[in-house]
């Protein structure tokens, strides 16, 4: 099994690049944001519990996302590998993920570096185009804040373990994809 984490702030292009990498390398794309949005749109019990947090740009409880990820890994265990998108977002989640995967299948981190000004521009545009309810000015600010407080510290965690690869995420979709492919091959 070969596993990867696509990492970066909101608006860095994680979902777009994860999809392309999944296709190219025959990996399963596991996006916790997409799975949570599905729970919300189906109005499941979990969906009802997380809707408000997501709309405010906060982090859903580790216990909820950890369980979702565990289910998926168990169900789809036969795949060539996973690309995790939007997970882990806290040190607890990172430790949980390593514990779920066999030691030799610990994921490499593909970190997309994008300046804050560019992130805000992209997220606002996405809000207008896709109507994602958390892509509004207030929530964007909060998500960027939550990212720098709780998620960005993971970069040190992975760098210390020599599992971190960073690429410039500011080019075109194809340029960024090329940079990532060069690192994976
Ligand atoms: P983005 O990275 O652009 O903010 P996501 O689709 O990854 O978008 O996440 C959307 C929202 O879903 C987050 O703001 C958060 O509320 C929730 N979420 C997704 N993944 C996690 C996670 N691993 N832990 C906690 N909350 C999460």
Give the pLDDT of residue 107.
97
Asked if the model's pLDDT at residue 138 lies above 80, the reply is yes
Give the pLDDT of residue 2.
93
> Which pLDDT band holds residue 89 (cuts at 50, 70, 90)?
very high
Number of domains forming the structure of the chain: 1
* DSSP 8-state symbol, 104: G
Asked if the model's pLDDT at residue 61 lies above 80, the reply is yes
**Contacts of residue 92, Cβ cutoff 8 Å, sequence gap at least 6:** 62, 66
Beta carbon of 64 within 6 Å of any ligand 1 atom = no
**pLDDT tens string 164-175:** 999 999 999 999
Give the pLDDT of residue 84.
98
| Edge-to-edge strands, sheet with 28-31 | 28-31, 82-85, 4-7, 108-113, 164-168
**pLDDT tens string 95-126:** 999 999 987 799 999 999 999 999 999 999 99
Cα R_g (the chain), whole angstroms: 16
Instruction: Output the domain CATH number for residue 153.
Output: 3.40.50.300
Q: How many residues does the chain have?
A: 185
Give the pLDDT of residue 133.
86
Give the pLDDT of residue 77.
65
| Residue-range definition of the domain harbouring residue 134 | 2-184
**pLDDT tens string 47-58:** 999 999 999 999
Mutate to test the pocket of ligand 1, among 5, 49, 60, 71 (most ligand atoms within 8 A of CB): 60
Nearest to 137 by CA among 149, 150, 126: 126
Q: What is the mean pLDDT of the chain?
A: 95
**pLDDT tens string 5-46:** 999 999 999 999 999 999 999 999 999 999 999 999 999 999
| Residue whose CA is at the smallest distance from ligand 1 atom 16 | 54
Give the pLDDT of residue 132.
86
Beta carbon of 86 within 6 Å of any ligand 1 atom = yes
Give the pLDDT of residue 181.
97
Helix/strand/coil for 112 = strand
**Position in ligand 1 atom list of the atom nearest CA 87:** 23
């Amino acid at each position: 099994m070969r596993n990867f984490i696509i990492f970066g702030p909101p608006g860095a292009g994680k979902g777009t690049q994860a999809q392309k990498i999944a296709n190219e390398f025959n990996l399963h794309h596991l996006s916790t944001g997409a799975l949570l949005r599905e729970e919300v749109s189906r109005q499941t019990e979990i969906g009802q519990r997380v809707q408000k947090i997501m709309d405010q740009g906060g982090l859903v409880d580790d216990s909820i996302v950890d369980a979702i990820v565990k289910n998926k890994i168990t169900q789809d265990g036969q795949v060539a590998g996973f690309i995790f998108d939007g997970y882990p977002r806290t040190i607890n989640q990172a430790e949980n993920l390593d514990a779920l995967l066999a030691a030799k299948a610990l994921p490499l981190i593909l970190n997309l570096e994008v300046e804050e000004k560019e992130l805000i521009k992209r997220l606002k545009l996405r809000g207008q185009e896709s109507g994602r309810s958390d892509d509004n000015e207030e929530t964007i600010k909060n998500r960027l804040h939550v990212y720098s407080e709780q998620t960005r510290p993971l970069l040190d965690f992975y760098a210390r373990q020599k599992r971190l690869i960073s690429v410039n995420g500011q080019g075109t979709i194809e340029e960024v994809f090329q940079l990532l492919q060069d690192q994976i091959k």
